[in-house]
Amino acid sequence: MPRGKHILGLPKGKHIFGTVKVGEKGQICIPKEARERYGIQPGDTLLVLGDDAQGIIISTPDAIKRVAINILGDEPESGPESLQRSLNVIPETLKIY
């Protein structure tokens, strides 16, 4: 029988690292397992994005840069269709912590 976090039967590559408390200064501590899995080191810069319906995403700026390159880069194809395709891959491109 599955135990702990695995009881939810998450798909491979999807994780629940637990809960965090927001301190008096608005700070959170990213769980050790998440920091290790995604290589987050003290002093790293992370980007916080918000969606009123889905909540927040904490990501590395590099992940957003890859999305921006898909939208604005040297792709031969650009415009609304290219933008929509890039927006559709955001969840796959971002490291969601």
pLDDT tens-digit profile of 37-82? 888 999 999 988 888 888 888 888 887 777 777 777 655 555 556 5
Distance CA 79, CA 84 (A): 9
pLDDT of residue 82: 58
Percent of the chain with pLDDT over 70: 65
Distance CA 90, CA 96 (A): 10
Please check whether residue 89 is in contact with residue 70, taking contact to mean a CB–CB distance below 8 angstroms: yes
CB atoms within 10 A of CB 35: 16
Ranges 32-36, 49-53, 90-94: which has the least confidence: 90-94
Task: Look at residue 4 and give its three-state secondary structure.
Answer: helix
**Does pTM surpass 0.75?**
no
Residue with tokens 């810069």: 45
